[in-house]
Amino acid sequence: MAAQHTPLYTLTGSQALALLKQNAVTVEGYASALLERIKDRDPTVRAWTYLDPAYVLRQARELDQIPQDQRGPLHGLPVGVKDVINTQDMPTQFGSALYQGHQPSLDSSAVAILRAAGALIFGKTTTTEFTVANSGPGTTNPHDPNRTPGGSSCGSAAAVADFHVPVSLGTQTGGSIIRPASYTGIFALKPTFNAVSPEGQKMFSPTFDTFGFFARSVQDLQLLSDVLAIQDDEAPKGTPLEDMFIALMKTPMWPSAGQGTIAAMDKAVMALRESGIQVQEVDFPPDMANAATLKRIQKIICMSEAQESFLREYRMDKSKLGPEMRALLEDFKSTHKERVDATDTYNDMRRIMNGLSLQYSAIIAPSAADEAPVGLDDMGSAIFNTMWTGFHMPVVNVPAFTGDHGMPIGLSLVASRFRDQHLLRVAMALVEPLVNKGGWRAEEGSRQQ
């Protein structure tokens, strides 16, 4: 039994739930092990912005009191929650000086659903100011304290990568889930847009804002997806590796790829082909925008929506907004006509790309430009992520490879809208060729299929 040989904190969520179900461990015992780990490590990692150990243990004991036959499917599963996602029992401060001590009255939609299923809402993880800023909280990459874990879901990614909790919640408007998952070497799912209601997470750009989550196994992503009612039209069938057909898509952003990502894409092709999987390099369709236009369109939609979303904060007290927020609200200019045209063009591209993706088992694309950058002030670029967010397509980060500095480099698996469960099955099948044959390993514990 894993629990007898490895520390409890290294278990995946699915492994821990199995032990809880067998009464081999109590929720309190499990939570205590995680709290110990956090106590040891968080002075370095700084993943948490709010964590009350006494309250965690009180909740854990209450869960232990629930009779076995009344327990939910996530009974006792510790969940970290990004601090732009509302929790009714913990402050939610959006990484903003304006909201210090703010205590929401309701859980977000996702937190409410997970809590109702028995999850132990553990604490709040760090984020950047309103997820807009790209620096700030001082969270470090668990694999190198001199590097960023990536923004803006920095705390949620670092907490899972460093074994503080098995799973955590995040949001992605550009690349705020998939990029930190890549930088910290863990799995993550950004589901299809609106497959999970974003209610109760701070709005930034409603066309892009997407809820998602981090884990150290595909099975844990599956577990949360099932409870959150993420369903395909048809129950996905397991596809044998030899029947898979993968599109390798470097995307128009490829000139931004660094050596680590270039090498990772090459290694992926080799590993997949060695496993008998058909891989075809596929260009963006010729009627799609080029890189410059795509970036411009995304920026116009996202920034103009953000100006509406944050008008209230600007009017409340602009002196409490940081420089990136001020620049967004005061300096960014675009016309409504540009925005309307950008939105209509983007709708067209969304349809084209979703249609194209239906021809393949999945698309493989970069999750980030390279390894996590050195330093904590630059939390990396969303350049390889924003398009999939805007196309509303589900994305799984697979922590496959290692860069020149020994840091993880993930790859994105992408499918068409509302094929999330299919995508998870593909990811599960590709763990063997990509992760187990890839170069990346965490120092402690093991990622499970």
| Size of the chain in residues | 449
User: Which two structure tokens, joined as six digits, stand for 383?
Assistant: 């350049």
The end-to-end CA distance of the chain, in Å, is 17
Q: Does residue 347 touch a copy of itself according to CB under 8 A?
A: yes
Q: Does residue 315 touch a copy of itself according to CB under 8 A?
A: yes
Residues carrying an active site annotation:
82, 152, 176
Nearer to a copy of itself, 95 or 198 (CB): 198
Rounded CA gap, 262 and 414, in Å? 18
Q: Does residue 237 touch a copy of itself according to CB under 8 A?
A: no
User: Which two structure tokens, joined as six digits, stand for 84?
Assistant: 């732009």
Choose which of 194, 239, 278, 449 interacts with a copy of itself (CB under 8 A): 194
Nearer to a copy of itself, 129 or 370 (CB): 129
Task: For residue 180, give the nearest of 336, 380, 41, 364 by alpha carbon.
Answer: 380
Q: Does residue 335 touch a copy of itself according to CB under 8 A?
A: yes
Q: Which residues contact 318 (CB under 8 A, 6 or more apart)?
A: 326, 329
> Smallest distance from the beta carbon of 401 to a copy of itself, in angstroms?
32
Size of interface with a copy of itself, in residues (CB under 8 A):
42
Rounded CA gap, 281 and 293, in Å? 22
DSSP letter at 363 equals E
Q: Does residue 333 touch a copy of itself according to CB under 8 A?
A: no
Nearer to a copy of itself, 313 or 370 (CB): 313
Choose which of 197, 239, 275, 278 interacts with a copy of itself (CB under 8 A): 197
The answer to whether 377 and 138 are in contact (CB under 8 A) is no
User: Which two structure tokens, joined as six digits, stand for 203?
Assistant: 């709005």
> Smallest distance from the beta carbon of 198 to a copy of itself, in angstroms?
8
Piece of the chain touching a copy of itself by CB under 8 A; list 124-132, 189-197, 404-412, 441-449:
189-197
Piece of the chain touching a copy of itself by CB under 8 A; list 8-16, 38-46, 109-117, 155-163:
109-117
DSSP structure string for 23-90: TSS-HHHHHHHHHHHHHHHHHHH--EEE--HHHHHHHHHHHHHS-GGG--TTTT-EEEEETTB--TTS
Choose which of 18, 24, 66, 203 interacts with a copy of itself (CB under 8 A): 203
Q: Does residue 293 touch a copy of itself according to CB under 8 A?
A: no
Q: Enumerate binding residues for a copy of itself (CB under 8 A).
A: 102-107, 109, 112-113, 116-117, 194-199, 202-203, 206, 229, 232-233, 305, 308-309, 311-312, 315-316, 335-337, 339-340, 344, 347, 350-351, 354, 417-418
